[in-house]
A and B are shown apart, each in its own frame.
Chain A
Amino acid sequence: MQKALVSVTGQDRVGIIAKVSASLSQQNINILEISQTILDGCFTMLMVVDIAGAQENFQQIATRLNEVGKEIGVMVNIQRMELFAAMHRV
Chain B
Amino acid sequence: MLEANEILQTIHMIQDQHFDIRTITMGINLLDCRKNTDAETAECVYQKIVRMAGNLVKVGCDLEGEFGVPIVNKRLSVTPVSMISGSDPVRIALALEKAAEDVGVNLVGGYGALMHKGGTNAENVLLESMPEVFASTQRLCGSVNVGSTRSGINMDVVRKMGAIIKRTAELTADQDSFGCAKIVVFANAVEDNPFMAGAFHGPGEPECVINVGVSGPGAVQRALEAVRGQPFDVVAETIKRTAFKITRVGELVAQEAARRLNVPFGIVDLSLAPTPARGDSVAYILKEMGLEMAGAPGTTAALAMLNDMVKKGGVMASSHVGGLSGAFIPVSEDIGMIEAAQAGCLTIEKLEAMTCVCSVGLDMIAIPGDTSANAIAGIIADEAAIGMVNNKTTAVRVIPAVGKKAGDSVNFGGLFGFAPIMKVNTFCNDAFIERGGRIPAPLQSLRN
Contact = CB atoms under 8 A, between A and B. Distances in A.
Interface in A72-90: 77-80, 82-89
B397 interface: no
Interface string A1-12: 000010100000
Interface residues of B, number: 20
A35 B2 CA distance: 11
Interface in B243-283: 245, 248-249, 251-252
Q: Considering residues A7, A46, A58, A86, which has the most beta carbons from chain B within 10 angstroms of its beta carbon?
A: A86
Contacts of A33: 1
A46 B6 CA distance: 11
B4 A79 contact: no
Contacts of B106: none
B10 A87 contact: yes
B251 A83 contact: no
Contacts of B245: 87-88
Nearest to B248: A86
Interface stretch (B60-68, B334-342, B344-352): B60-68
B62 A86 contact: no
Interface string A21-51: 0000000000001010101000010100000
B443 interface: no
A62 interface: yes
Contacts of B2: 84-85, 88-89
Given A37-B4, A89-B2, A7 B11 contact: yes
B6 A79 contact: no
A7 B65 CA distance: 14
A86 B249 contact: yes
Interface string B7-33: 111110000000000000000000000
A35 B4 contact: yes
A83 B4 contact: no
A86 B251 contact: yes
A83 B10 contact: yes
B69 interface: yes
Interface residues of A, number: 23
A43 B2 CA distance: 20
Nearest to A7: B11
B67 A83 contact: yes
Interface string B282-297: 0000000000000000
A88 B244 CA distance: 9
Contact of A62 (B8, B11, B65, B251): B65
Contacts of A82: 67, 252
A81 B7 CA distance: 10
B373 to A, nearest CB: 48
Contacts of B10: 83-84, 87-88
A70 to B, nearest CB: 17
A25 to B, nearest CB: 22
Contacts of A37: 4
A81 to B, nearest CB: 8
Contacts of B248: 86-87
Contacts of A87: 6, 10, 245, 248-249
Nearest to A81: B2
A37 B4 CA distance: 10
A56 B65 CA distance: 14
Contacts of B65: 58-59, 62
B7 A7 contact: yes
Interface in B44-89: 62, 65-69
Given A37-B4, A84-B7, A79 B249 contact: no
B355 to A, nearest CB: 31
Interface in B154-188: none
A67 to B, nearest CB: 15
Interface in B121-179: none
22 contacts: A5-B7, A37-B4, A39-B8, A46-B4, A46-B7, A58-B65, A59-B62, A59-B65, A78-B68, A79-B67, A83-B10, A83-B249, A84-B6, A84-B7, A84-B10, A86-B248, A86-B251, A87-B6, A87-B10, A87-B245, A87-B248, A89-B2
Interface of B: 1-2, 4, 6-11, 62, 65-69, 245, 248-249, 251-252
Given A7-B11, A59-B62, 12 more contacts: A5-B7, A37-B4, A39-B8, A58-B62, A80-B67, A83-B67, A84-B7, A86-B252, A87-B6, A87-B10, A87-B245, A88-B10
Interface of A: 5, 7, 33, 35, 37, 39, 44, 46, 58-59, 62, 77-80, 82-89
Closest 10 pairs between A and B when the two form their complex, measured CB to CB: A79-B68, A88-B6, A86-B252, A86-B248, A87-B245, A83-B67, A80-B66, A58-B66, A35-B4, A59-B65
